[in-house]
Structure 1
Amino acid sequence: MAFLGLLFSMIPTLLLLASSSKFQAEARQYDVGGRDGWVAKPSEDYNHWAQRNRFQVNDTLHFKYNKGIDSVVVVKKEDFDSCNINNPIQKMDDGDSIFPLSHSGLFYFVSGNLDNCKIGQKLIVLVMAVRQPPPVTAPPPTSALPPQTVPATGLTSPAPPPSEKSGSGRVGVGLGVLVGFVLVGFIGLA
């Protein structure tokens, strides 16, 4: 019996651990542009590539490009639309740049080469909002139900108890108690 009690007491904890693990995904690194990298004319449009992916907070973007010829500039939306690289939020120019997605929302990237930006070397990334696990609620307390009242009409008196001579009632109860002890013993060993 103690084993079953312990098992049942552990169920809420196990459920909490199982449900919270769904919401804690490993951070991923995405290679922007796939095999092409960060180039002026990728085989797949950057925004199409971004729409196929689900970016989460703490993921990273890996930009691979020719150092000295190109760079990556993080900009505001207005600067993204006009290819304005003169007001950068951040500029990466080492040819092998990692950008951490530190919060949810939109991130705007353009090529630091103005001509490349004008022909479409730009990227918008939507980072999904952080999902919080649903609050775990404790199971409702087990309370005794109020006694039910049964109308007295239509009831018959209970059957008389078995006579002492037959003894069948005592054998049935004794056998039930014995089976109960055997089952508890097996459960206790498990």
Structure 2
Amino acid sequence: MANSLFLFSLFLFMAVSLAAGTQFRVGGTGTWAIPDSNAMSYNQWAEKNRFQVGDSISFMYLPDKDSVLLVDADAYNSCNTSSHIDEFNDGNTVFTFARSGAFHFISGIKDNCDKNEKLVVVVMVDRSNSSSLAPAAPPTSSSSSPPPPPSEGATGEPTPTPNAASSKVVGVISTFGAILGALSYVF
């Protein structure tokens, strides 16, 4: 009986850990600041990663010196800090992507934004939905403001690419089957 309880607990832990999204650190380090002239820009970093619904991104900064603003594409392009969807100023912001599409982040200090402290994250379309016509969920945040509009120049959904979601499902099913097999052997 103790073996079966252990195996069940192991399965539950694995299922929960497989279902959780990935937490990315902005720029790879998590530090939200004006990029060094020799460093990769935040957008170059973002282009090298695959963001999915359920993933999150963390921003670390001095709360009395900076902030993070979620903005639309126009405010992003003009570094308009007065027109934001949401504002974060706690010094350790974690933002979870609740829908696919483009998310625009800028520094709450216009001069910092003008010096390239800004980021666009494109979250991949969730291909597990049976209907692509379902409305997108708003971004997860503490504000009740509407989600940002799609970025200009978008030509539709990205081409299908393999992602970790299908391997997570296979992993969960395989783990479940292995545990059931082990339990049937114990009893």
Q: Considering the TM-score relative to the shorter chain, is it more than 0.5?
A: yes
Distance in 2 (alpha carbons) for counterparts of 1:87 and 1:45: 23
Distance in 2 (alpha carbons) for counterparts of 1:38 and 1:82: 19
Q: Which residue pairs with 2:78 in the alignment?
A: 82
- Aligned residue for 2:46, secondary structure, equals helix
Matches within 5 A, 1:61-72: 61-72=57-68
Runs of 4+ residues over 2 Å off in structure 1: none
**How far is 1:44 from its partner?**
1.8
User: 1:128-164, CA deviations, whole angstroms, 9 ceiling, x for partnerless residues?
Assistant: 0001278xxxxxxxxxxxxxxxxxxxxxxxxxxxxxx
Gaps of 5+ in 2: 1-14, 131-187
Q: Which residue pairs with 2:115 in the alignment?
A: 119
Aligned residues with identical type, % of pairs: 39
Matches within 5 A, 1:41-120: 41-42=35-36, 43-120=39-116
Out of 18, 21, 32, the residue aligned to residue 38 of structure 1 is 32
Structure whose CA Rg is larger: 1
Gaps of 5+ in 1: 1-20, 135-190
**How far is 1:25 from its partner?**
5.8
**How far is 1:33 from its partner?**
1.8
Distance in 2 (alpha carbons) for counterparts of 1:133 and 1:123: 27
Distance in 2 (alpha carbons) for counterparts of 1:41 and 1:50: 14
Letter in 1 for 2:62: N
RMSD of aligned residue pairs (Cα, Å): 1.9
Question: How many aligned residue pairs are there?
Answer: 112
Tell me if the contact between 2:67 and 2:109 (Cα under 8 Å) persists in the aligned partners: yes
User: 1:92-151, CA deviations, whole angstroms, 9 ceiling, x for partnerless residues?
Assistant: 0010001010100000000001100001110000000001278xxxxxxxxxxxxxxxxx
Q: Which residue pairs with 1:29 in the alignment?
A: 23
